[in-house]
Structure 1
Amino acid sequence: MTPFEVPVPTFTQFTRPSELTGPLRRELAACWAAVVNTGGAVIPPDCPLPPVTPADVATAVDRIAENLTPDHSMLLSATLDGALAGWLVLRREAHPLEAHCGVVNHVQTQVHLRGLGIGAALMHRVRHVAREEMGLDRLKLTARAGLGLEHFYRKAGWAEVGRWPGVLRLAPGDDRDEILMSIAL
């Protein structure tokens, strides 16, 4: 690949716990730990603050896997040459009044592959999957302020619809807004 070529990832959807094999779970946990350790916004609730190891996030990966169901929750992965390049979770809202909406969580790309368009490709693909395969009309997500994530999501067509000021405390004196974002499909 030349420096000007943009890699085209292969996407795979996982909708059942059994589909996330041990090796794939380890790849997901390794990606997640690397993202957390570089300031990523996806620290699992039962995980220590950084630095973390893949073992620290393995339980959270297992919890995601256990909640996969064909109609309500899927993990979407992007691979390059068979190796995990990025992933996210898409789930349908459970409440009947919101069943036309989905939530995107855990958007992550391998740290060494950042800037190659993997995240943008994932965000494009999740819109297609949500609309065409799950029949959703709208998606929502939250992003942590202070990382420039809102700019990434805006470029992908998402709109900021609100903020929870200072709700995320990363360390004493380091409180961040949680940015609420949405996109119509």
Structure 2
Amino acid sequence: MPLTFTLDPVVTPGFRDGILDLWTDVTNAGGAVGFVPPAGREDIRPALVRQLVSMAEERSRLLVGHDEEGDVAATAFLTFNTHPLMTHWIWLYTVMVHPRHQGRGYGRDLMAAVARAARTLDGVEAIRLACRGGLGLERFYASCGYKEVGRIPDAIRVAPGDDRDDVVMLLPLT
């Protein structure tokens, strides 16, 4: 059954906890979402609070996918660029699909929903994201229409002796 996507859902305590659980589960399954395993909910909570503050200040938007049981199964944060010469594109952060839902095409569905949502935003002509090299994420995003536009070698230190490229990708919307 496909996910149901909502842009700018009402953030209740239960919903917030659902995002926190998703972020924790994705991290601990090896997902490249800002942390390395093992990570607990309290390790991730400050990053979620920062995202929620950004939403409250209208600097970002949240796209969420719910599964057939109504649980948070996928998320992506669309963040506005505040530089006056770069407001025509947005950043995409914290793209996640719960590990129990992976392999069903939900990641591709999420990326399509992100593009649809971005097209509704005034003046937005492109989506830019950065991903951690070495995990095949570049191939996934390329299959969703994104092009690699930059790469900084060894910019992400996952652990001592384990440095990864920071890969920048872009999806034109026009």
Alignment TM class, shorter chain as reference: over 0.9
Question: 8 Å contact 1:164–1:177 — kept in the other structure?
Answer: yes
Q: TM-score, normalised by structure 1?
A: 0.87
Q: Does 1:79 align with 2:51?
A: no
Residue 169 of structure 1: which of 146, 153, 157 is its match? 157
Question: 8 Å contact 2:7–2:117 — kept in the other structure?
Answer: no
| Structure-1 residue corresponding to 2:29 | 38
- What letter corresponds to residue 34 of structure 2 in structure 1? I
Q: Does 1:142 align with 2:130?
A: yes
| Structure-1 residue corresponding to 2:118 | 130
* Aligned counterparts of 2:157 and 2:58: Cα–Cα separation in 1: 34
Residue 4 of structure 2: which of 7, 10, 18 is its match? 10
* Aligned counterparts of 1:168 and 1:135: Cα–Cα separation in 2: 31
Residue 103 of structure 1: which of 69, 83, 91 is its match? 91
Identity %: 36
Unaligned runs of 5+ residues in structure 2 are: none
CA RMSD of aligned residues (A): 1.6
Q: TM-score, normalised by structure 2?
A: 0.93
- 1:124–1:32 distance in 2 versus 1, CA, 3 Å: same
Q: Does 1:62 align with 2:56?
A: no
* Aligned counterparts of 1:116 and 1:54: Cα–Cα separation in 2: 26
Shift of 1:71: 5.4
> Which secondary structure does the structure 1 equivalent of 2:91 belong to?
strand
Question: 8 Å contact 2:87–2:123 — kept in the other structure?
Answer: no
* Aligned counterparts of 1:102 and 1:85: Cα–Cα separation in 2: 23
* Aligned counterparts of 1:10 and 1:70: Cα–Cα separation in 2: 25
Residue 50 of structure 1: which of 37, 44, 50 is its match? 37
Shift of 1:72: 3.7
Report which stretch shifted further, 105-114 or 58-67: 58-67
Q: Please list every run of at least 4 consecutive aligned residues from structure 1 whose deviation after the TM superposition is greater than 2 angstroms.
A: 69-72, 132-135
| Structure-1 residue corresponding to 2:103 | 115
**Matched length:** 172
Unaligned runs of 5+ residues in structure 1 are: 1-6
Per-residue CA deviation, residues 53-87 of structure 1 (Å, 9 max, x unaligned), is 12221121111111115854101000112111100
- 1:122–1:54 distance in 2 versus 1, CA, 3 Å: same
Question: 8 Å contact 2:32–2:132 — kept in the other structure?
Answer: yes
